Amino acid sequence: MTTIRETFAKNLRESRRKCGFTQAQLAEKAGISTHYIALIELARNIPKVETIELLANALNVEIYEFFIVPLSPAMELKKLNEAIVADLKDVVKEAIDEAITSDLKGVVKKSVDEAFAKERKRQKERK
């Protein structure tokens, strides 16, 4: 099980790399030492709330993003699979509804056309 310290370290490192910063650049931007950044990223230290805020501001991320525990690849695939299945169900339902509606319109139109044709024929026969 991953600790909060490890999660924070991993997310800080990933956020820093996404921004294209070195540890030294992040340290300078946040106003803390490069050594301290290294210790945090190695999960040897956990910063105080004030320092977390400085890091978040320096990286332009929300504080909570440092604490998000990523899902395992298997869980990510399961969630993706569930989303795809749900989308497919919607698409199939819409296609079926459209086909039924289209077929019904065709049947109704044919019935109406036949009824009018019969009525016209009766009217001609009466004359």
Q: Work out how many domains the chain is built from and give that number.
A: 2
Q: Are residues 83 and 39 part of one domain?
A: no
Q: Are residues 115 and 85 part of one domain?
A: yes
Q: Are 37 and 29 in contact (CB under 8 A)?
A: no
Q: What is the DSSP string of 63-100?
A: GGGGGPPPPPHHHHHHHHHHHHHHHHHHHHHHHHHHHH
Rounded to two decimals, the pTM is: 0.58
User: Of 67, 86, 115, which one is at a domain's C-terminal end?
Assistant: 67
pLDDT, tens digit only, all 127 positions of the chain: 789 999 999 999 999 999 999 999 999 999 999 999 999 999 999 999 999 999 999 999 999 999 998 777 887 788 888 888 888 888 888 888 887 777 777 777 777 777 778 878 877 777 6
- State which residues form the domain around 110: 71-127
Q: Are residues 63 and 12 part of one domain?
A: yes
Q: Are residues 90 and 63 part of one domain?
A: no
* Residue whose token pair is 């803390």: 32
CA distance 68 to 50: 19
29: CB partners within 8 A, 6+ apart: 21, 58
Q: Are residues 111 and 80 part of one domain?
A: yes
